[in-house]
Amino acid sequence: MPLVQSISTSIAGHIEKIREINRRYATSRIQMSTTVRVALLALRLYLLFLVGLLAFKFITVLTQ
């Protein structure tokens, strides 16, 4: 069990480091114009559309 404990301790340390980074960058330090916000929103929607299309294609290939 010492191996499992050391692995879980290592993973917990990495998770805490990730949480620290997320806390540091939770708020933006630069001001974004409305145009930039709209462009980023459009890119997010496009990304979701592509992921949905990929999932749809994956499911249809599996069911054939």
This prediction has a pTM of 0.57
Q: Which residue has the higher pLDDT, 11 or 49?
A: 49
**The predicted structure's pLDDT at residue 8:** 80
- Please enumerate in sequence order all residues whose Cβ is within 8 A of that of 32, keeping only pairs 6 or more positions apart, or say none: 40
Is residue 18 over pLDDT 70? Answer: yes
61, two tokens: 């290939």
Q: In Å, what is the CA distance from 43 to each residue of 31, 37, 40, 62?
A: 19, 10, 5, 28
For the chain, what percentages of helix, strand and coil (3-state, to nearest 5) are there? 80, 0, 20
